[in-house]
């Protein structure tokens, strides 16, 4: 059974897929994403793998007859792809050679471009889950790309807020946030010609970095080769720095926020950016979302980001020295 169920309280859709309960934990002596497994090419640099347990699919089953007038159901139409970063079972983003990192970014671009051609796809989201702390069952370095038949609520809210601000002030909200972060300075982590990374004033995660495009581009497909190279370098530095914070693989959820598909480009008021949601608040301490945060969406940060920003900046320098 796979379907979408409408939540009238939030005006949003819940994806339901019972067969995902059958997802396996990877055996210690076998990895389907490693060359030689028979599941992937014997030779690859990066590879697009069709998800074995998709919550959205091109040929979804008819929804169960469990709804009503208020409780609507829809077919779970869409796509769920897996993006393999490397044939090396242990090479995560900061470990990739620069050429491999650029191939990964190009695969993200190609996949985004292909998926948004389908008029039923309203939003294409590129993301990565890293580490057991966020539920990863396949440790081979990989990310995912989902094509949704709706715009996810968080993105929809973000777009609406940015549009309202633009209509009220005539300014792009991201330009104003960047201006404030640069003026204050202490939360800025890295800055290049096209991108800037900072831990926002308002984030609810101790190391919740935002990597933001400084020009009016709203999708990864719009970047030049030089901009893609800068993006890759900054991603590697950020994640490499995170790993150096506590000398361990740093768990996180990473999501690219881009424009919706098949709608007018919101470039006047929106901006391509990447958000990190790392659950660690110390080497072996997890920041859990408890009742207030989960039930009320009342965000709470147990740390002062002006202090965690300093820690991450210093850790990035350690990573860069190690990398040479």
CATH classification of the domain holding 274: 3.30.428.10
Per residue in 188-240, pLDDT (tens digit) is 999 999 999 999 999 999 999 999 999 999 999 999 999 999 999 999 999 99
24 in any annotated domain: no
pTM: 0.96
CA atoms within 13 A on the CB side of 289: 14
26 in any annotated domain: no
Whether 98 shows a pLDDT value over 70: the answer reads: yes
Whether 24 shows a pLDDT value over 70: the answer reads: no
Whether 19 shows a pLDDT value over 80: the answer reads: no
For residue 271, what are the domain limits? Answer: 2-17+38-323
What long-range pairs does 254-257 form, CB within 8 A, spacing at least 24?
254/127, 254/128, 254/130, 254/143, 255/125, 255/126, 255/127, 256/108, 256/125, 256/126, 256/127, 256/220, 257/155, 257/158
246 in any annotated domain: yes
Whether 23 shows a pLDDT value over 70: the answer reads: no
Given this model, what pLDDT does residue 17 score? 86
22 in any annotated domain: no
255 in any annotated domain: yes
Per residue in 267-302, pLDDT (tens digit) is 999 999 999 999 999 999 999 999 999 999 999 999
Q: What does the DSSP assignment read for 36-78?
A: TSSSS-SS-SSEEEE-SS-SSBSSPPPPPS---SSS-EEE-BS
Segment 168-190 mean pLDDT = 98
Given this model, what pLDDT does residue 67 score? 85
Given this model, what pLDDT does residue 311 score? 98
Q: What percent of the chain has pLDDT over 70?
A: 97
Tell me whether residue 140 is one of the annotated catalytic residues: no
Catalytically annotated residue among 47, 121, 140, 142:
142
117 in any annotated domain: yes
Given this model, what pLDDT does residue 21 score? 53
Mean pLDDT, rounded, of the chain: 95
Look at the chain and report how many structural domains it folds into: 1
Do 237 and 208 form a contact (C-beta atoms < 8 A)?
no
33 in any annotated domain: no
- Pair type for strands 280-282 and 285-286: antiparallel
The better pLDDT of the pair 302, 324 is held by: 302
59 in any annotated domain: yes
């Amino acid at each position: 059974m796979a379907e979408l169920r409408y939540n009238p309280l939030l005006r949003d859709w819940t994806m339901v897929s019972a067969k995902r309960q059958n997802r396996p934990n990877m055996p210690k002596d076998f990895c389907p994403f490693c060359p030689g497994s028979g599941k992937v090419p014997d030779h690859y640099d990066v590879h697009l793998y069709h998800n074995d347990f998709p919550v959205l699919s091109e040929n979804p089953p008819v929804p169960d007859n469990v709804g009503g007038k208020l409780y609507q159901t829809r077919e779970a139409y869409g796509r769920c792809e897996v993006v393999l970063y490397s044939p090396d079972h242990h090479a995560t983003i900061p470990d990739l050679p620069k050429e491999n990192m650029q191939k990964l970014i190009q695969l993200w671009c190609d996949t985004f471009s292909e998926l948004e051609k389908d008029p039923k796809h309203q939003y294409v989201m590129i993301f990565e889950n890293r580490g057991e702390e966020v539920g990863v069952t396949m440790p081979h370095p990989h990310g995912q790309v989902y094509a949704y038949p709706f715009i996810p609520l968080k993105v929809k809210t973000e777009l609406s807020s940015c549009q309202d601000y633009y209509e009220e002030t005539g300014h792009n909200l991201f330009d104003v946030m960047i201006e404030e972060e640069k003026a204050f300075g202490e939360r800025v982590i890295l800055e290049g010609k096209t991108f800037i990374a900072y831990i926002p004033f308002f984030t609810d995660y101790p190391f919740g970095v935002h990597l933001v495009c400084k020009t009016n581009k709203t999708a990864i497909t719009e970047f030049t080769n030089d901009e893609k190279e800068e993006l890759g370098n900054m991603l590697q530095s950020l994640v490499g720095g995170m790993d150096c914070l506590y000398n361990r693989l740093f768990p996180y959820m990473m999501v690219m926020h881009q424009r919706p598909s098949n709608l007018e480009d919101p470039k006047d008021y929106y901006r391509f950016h990447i958000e990190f949601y790392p659950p660690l608040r110390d080497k072996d301490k997890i920041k859990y979302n408890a009742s207030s945060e989960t039930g009320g969406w009342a965000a709470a940060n147990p740390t002062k980001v002006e202090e965690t920003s300093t820690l991450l900046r210093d850790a990035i320098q350690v990573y860069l020295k190690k990398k040479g």
